[in-house]
Chains A and B, each alone.
Chain A
Amino acid sequence: MFKFLGITCEQANEICNKAQYNEANFTEKLKLNWHLLVCKVCTLYSKQNNTLTKVYKIKANECRKQKFCLNNKEKELLKEEMKKTSLQ
């Protein structure tokens, strides 16, 4: 009856990764959860994957605050190069 829910561990991993971004659809989530009920290894993988996602989110928050700029010397050099190019 529930044969359509059967997936391999590899497929469960793929869905689990997609689910980290909330982009697994309803059927995929159903298949994943069904698989996790019967597979302890994938349950551990899934738990560890959630931990990694938390770590990546902390990194993402940090990166959002960062602003990258060119220094004045680099800007002056760029202006000179542009002048040369426009004269050619």
Chain B
Amino acid sequence: MSETNQPHTLSPDLWVDNYADYLYNYAVVRINNNDLAKDLVQETFFAGLKSAKNFEGKSTERTWLISILKRKIIDHYRKINSKKGQAEIRMSFYDNGENEGNWIEERVPQSWNSETESDIENEELKEQIDKCINNLPEKYAMVFRMKTILEFETEEICKELNITPSNLWVIIHRARTQLRTCMEQNWFNK
């Protein structure tokens, strides 16, 4: 039997040294919360220890641990997804009547300052983006970050978070609408 056909084995004593950073990085870029990411890594290792007897050796140790972490991230997403009363986007369009779908006059986009285009490499601007993303409802921030900042494929995000592409686009649309307002108020028209 060649080495590649050997079933993989687990070495929990080496998990922290071999995989903690990898798992932490995986979690923190998705949820953007250092403490929560650390908790999820710890929970992943604990869950791994508990279910070690079920490990069949078909995948590598790292892939197996990542699959546990992915489930933890989905659980977290479901939790934040079920939270009610989070910040709602301000409606920019009439939602009924003959003007349905048209801009509400006072929400019509306004021109930005002329130096906008030449200013986009500005460090303070990047900080402002972070602030605006962090002001989004957690669910929107997570999906927006995965799609726009981490540049994941739509299919990949839908699979990871167990959502449909239409769900994803609704969230992206709302997130971008809120971000636009935040950036306009705090940067482009400050």
Contacts and interface: CB of A to CB of B under 8 A. Distances in A.
B25 A62 contact: no
Contacts of B16: 75, 78-79, 82
B38 A52 contact: no
Interface in A42-81: 44-45, 48-49, 51-52, 54-56, 58-60, 62-63, 67-70, 74-75, 78-79, 81
A82 B17 CA distance: 12
Interface stretch (B1-9, B62-70, B74-82, B121-129): B121-129
B120 A55 contact: yes
Given A75-B17, A82-B12, A56 B102 contact: no
Contacts of A59: 126, 129, 149
A27 interface: no
Provide the main secondary structure of the chain A interface: helix
Interface of B: 12, 15-17, 20-21, 24-25, 28-29, 34, 37-38, 41-42, 45-46, 49, 92-93, 100-103, 108-109, 111-112, 116-117, 120-121, 125-126, 129, 147-151, 154, 169, 172-173, 176-177, 179-180, 183, 188
Given A51-B120, A58-B126, A70-B24, A13 B173 contact: yes
Nearest to A45: B109
Contact of A62 (B42, B45, B126, B172): B126
B20 A63 contact: no
Contacts of A69: 21, 24-25
A85 B52 CA distance: 13
A8 B120 contact: no
Interface in A1-35: 7-11, 13-14, 17-18, 20-21, 23
A9 B101 contact: yes
